[in-house]
Every structure is written in C-alpha cells, then in structure tokens.
C-alpha cells in the first residue's frame, strides 16, 4: 500500500496530464467551442482592459514614480499595513487595473529587492484585486443590468481588500528585516530619457505581450477544463458531494454550479450566478462578492506564475483571498441590510406596492 501511494505521488502529474490529453480528444467538439469562447473573452475583454495597464506599469518602473510614492506614503503604509511606502504602488495599480496586475508588480518589486520577503507576502495577500472596469462594466451593467450593483460590489471589494491588508500586517510580524530606500534606489530600473526611450518602450511592450499571452493561455485552458468537467458530469458529482455543505449554510442548490465554476474561473461563475431566477437578487450579489474577492483557481495560478520566479510563498495569498471573499460578502450583506433601498429584491418591490 505504501509502495502504491509513493508511486501515485511520484506519477501524479503524469496521470493528470495524460488523462487531460485523452479527455481533450474524447470531448473534442465541445472543447473546441469552449476554447473559442475563451479566446473570444480574452481578445474582446481582457486585452483591451489589461494590456495598456501592463505597458503603463512597465514604463512607470523606468521612472522615479515608485520612489516618490514610497517616500510620500511611507508614513501611512508602515503603521497601517506594516509595509514600506513603495507598497502603495501595487495597491493603487492593483485596484485600478485588476487581476493579476497587483501580483505582477509585487513580484517585480521583490525581484528588484525593493521589498523583503515578508513585506512582499503581506502585500501579495491584499493588492491583487478585481478592477473597476470589470466590476462596474462586466458585472454591474453587463450581468445585472444595474450600475448601483456594480458600485456596491466595487466599494465592498476595496473595503475588504484594505481590511485584509490590516489583518496581514501581523504576518511574520517578528521579522524586523526592512527594505531601505537606499537599496531601492540602487535596484531601480534604468531611468528613461530621450536617448533610451525607444529601447524602454520596446522592452515594455515585449514584456507586456508575454504577460498578456500568459493570461490568455490560462483563460483558454480553464474554459476547456470547465467544459470537460461539465460534459463528463464531474461538476454534477462535485455538486452532489458539496450539497450538504451548501444546505448547512442555507445556500440554495441553484447556486451550486455557479459557486463551483466561480471557484475554478471567476468570469464563468459570475455569469452563471447572475442568470439564476430568484426573487432575492441581493443574495446572488452577495455570492458574487465572495467570488470576486477570492478570484478563483485560474487567477491563483496566474499569480503563482509570477511568484514562482521569486522566493515569495503563495500561502499568504491563498489565505488572504479567501478572507477577502468572506469579508466582501459580509460587507455586501451589511450594505443591503442597512440600506434597503439599494436592494434589487423583487419581493421588496412587491411589498412596496
């Protein structure tokens, strides 16, 4: 038995990849459609919204902006989040740009020795967030057909992220190793000027293309994986296994598929939840707040593709995003509880009349 378990561990990825290849062939027709949908999502939504921000962050890394932000925000970032002022850069860009810009910037700062390992792990736990374009446009207007819903989700998402950052100020609290500004200045990229603007711009575009292609690959891959899980009825099996847990938390069984798909890939899960016919629409929005905060395994692997090139542990990120999902859902519940006029519940509308 021990020999069998050892052999299974040793060949685990071999078995997974061979099985995945066989399933690609077996469900080839549905996988083709899923891959096309993933490419369409990437080309029409992800590239327009993220690619310019990737170029912008690359260009900003060749300026003194990071050091200026570091000096200005150090008085706030250190006492609140226990990180240096340069941590304001991934926090701001992570909120503005969306997944996975925050994680990429934190990894870059760590590689340049502008953050200690502990500081980078604290930042990673709360600076990689969903962007306002996605929350307001795709979810609020696109899925729920309501701008107010997008605003509520954006506010609770940001508040949850800040809350997690405050909680994670105690992560490896005894680590007194602090990155200095002298080190920061030495490790900064070559400052852009008129003589090297062409090289800097070319390098920034090339690096951004590699990053956006990496994200596109994850989107297509998980679109195909979800398609395989659906057509092989493995999703049905997962729903059956998790139904007692959903019943314990009084979650309607209609949400099971959306939650599981959202756990795998954020966009697919949010879309499924938004179309569930239910009078208590605020409950759907609360579930969406959790999925938005957590981000899904697809985003997790995108983050890991950056952190794997550093000494940053992925564990604080996983814990931080799970906490952010729970806190965001709780904040959204409080908003609907104390500000009933924001609720889209059909039952409330019926009661008014």
The predicted pLDDT at position 162 comes to 95
Asked if the peptide bond before residue 24 counts as cis, ω within 30 degrees of 0, the response is: no
What's the pTM value of the predicted model, to 2 decimals? 0.81
- The SS3 assignment for 196 reads coil
The predicted pLDDT at position 168 comes to 92
Q: Which of 70, 175, 168 is nearest to 124 (CA)?
A: 168
The predicted pLDDT at position 133 comes to 80
Q: How far apart are CA 257 and CA 173, in angstroms?
A: 39
Residue pair 232/27 in contact by the 8 Å Cβ criterion: yes
The predicted pLDDT at position 186 comes to 45
**Tens digits of per-residue pLDDT, 3-17?**
556 666 677 778 888
Residues in the chain predicted with pLDDT less than 50, given as ranges, are 180-187, 346-353
**Tens digits of per-residue pLDDT, 10-43?**
777 788 888 888 988 888 888 899 899 889 888 8
The predicted pLDDT at position 333 comes to 92
Tokens for 52, please give them.
């310019």
Q: Where are the beta strands (DSSP E) in the chain?
A: none
Domain boundaries, the chain: 45-352
Residue pair 38/220 in contact by the 8 Å Cβ criterion: yes
The predicted pLDDT at position 242 comes to 81
- The SS3 assignment for 112 reads coil
Q: How far apart are CA 105 and CA 207, in angstroms?
A: 13
Q: Which of 96, 153, 164 is nearest to 331 (CA)?
A: 153
- Cα 77-82-88 angle, rounded to 5 deg: 30
Residue pair 268/261 in contact by the 8 Å Cβ criterion: yes
Q: How far apart are CA 82 and CA 160, in angstroms?
A: 17
How many CB atoms are closer than 10 A to CB 207?
17
């Amino acid at each position: 038995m021990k020999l069998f378990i050892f052999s299974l561990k040793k060949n685990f990825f071999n078995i997974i990849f061979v099985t995945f290849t066989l399933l690609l062939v077996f469900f080839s027709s549905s996988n083709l459609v899923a891959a096309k949908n993933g490419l369409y999502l990437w080309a029409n939504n992800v590239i327009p919204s993220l690619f310019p921000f990737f170029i912008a962050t690359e260009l900003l890394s060749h300026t003194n902006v990071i050091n200026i932000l570091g000096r200005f925000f150090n008085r706030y970032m250190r006492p609140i989040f226990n990180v240096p002022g340069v941590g304001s850069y991934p926090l701001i860009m992570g909120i503005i740009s969306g997944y996975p810009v925050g994680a990429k910037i934190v990894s870059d700062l760590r590689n340049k020795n502008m953050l200690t390992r502990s500081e980078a792990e604290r930042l990673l736990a709360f600076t990689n967030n969903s962007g306002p374009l996605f929350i307001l446009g795709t979810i609020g207007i696109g899925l729920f057909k309501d701008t107010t819903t997008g605003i509520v989700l954006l506010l609770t998402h940001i508040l949850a992220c800040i809350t997690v950052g405050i909680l994670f100020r105690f992560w490896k609290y005894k680590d007194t190793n602090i990155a200095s500004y002298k080190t920061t200045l030495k490790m900064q990229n070559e400052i852009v000027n008129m003589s090297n603007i062409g090289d800097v711009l070319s390098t920034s575009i090339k690096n951004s293309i590699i990053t956006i292609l990496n994200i596109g690959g994850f989107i297509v891959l998980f679109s195909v994986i979800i398609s395989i899980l659906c057509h092989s009825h493995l999703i049905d099996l997962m729903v059956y296994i998790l139904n007692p847990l959903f019943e314990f938390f009084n979650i309607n069984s209609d949400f099971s598929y959306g939650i599981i798909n959202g756990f795998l890939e954020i966009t697919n899960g949010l879309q499924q939840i938004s179309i569930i016919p239910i009078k208590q629409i605020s409950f759907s929005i609360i579930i969406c707040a959790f999925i938005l905060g957590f981000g899904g395994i697809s985003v997790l692997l995108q983050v890991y593709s950056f952190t794997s090139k550093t000494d940053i542990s992925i564990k604080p990120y996983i814990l931080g995003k799970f906490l952010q999902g729970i806190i965001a859902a709780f904040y959204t519940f409080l908003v609907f509880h104390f500000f009933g006029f924001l609720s889209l519940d059909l039952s409330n509308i019926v009661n008014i009349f």
